[in-house]
Structure 1
Amino acid sequence: MKGLIQRVKHAKVEVNGELVGEIQHGLLVLLGVELHDTQQSTEKLCKKILNYRVFADEFGKMNLNVQQVQGQLLIVSQFTLVADTQSGNRPSFSSAAPAALGKKMYDYFVSLVKRSPIVCQTGVYAADMQVSLQNDGPVTFMLQV
Structure 2
Amino acid sequence: MQSYEERLTAPASWWTAALAAGLFCGLTALPFGTLATLGALITGGALATVAVSAYGSARIRVVAGSLVAGDARIPVTALGEARPLDRAEAVAWRTHRADPRAFMLLRSYVPTALRVEVTDPEDPTPYLYLSTRNPEKLAAALAAVRS
TM-score range, shorter chain: under 0.3
Higher RCO structure (Cα 8 Å, ≥6 apart): 1
Return the structure number with greater strand share. Answer: 1
Task: Work out which of the two has the higher radius of gyration on C-alpha atoms and give 1 or 2.
Answer: 2
User: Whose helix fraction is larger, Structure 1's or Structure 2's?
Assistant: 2
Q: What is the TM-score of this pair, normalised by structure 2?
A: 0.27
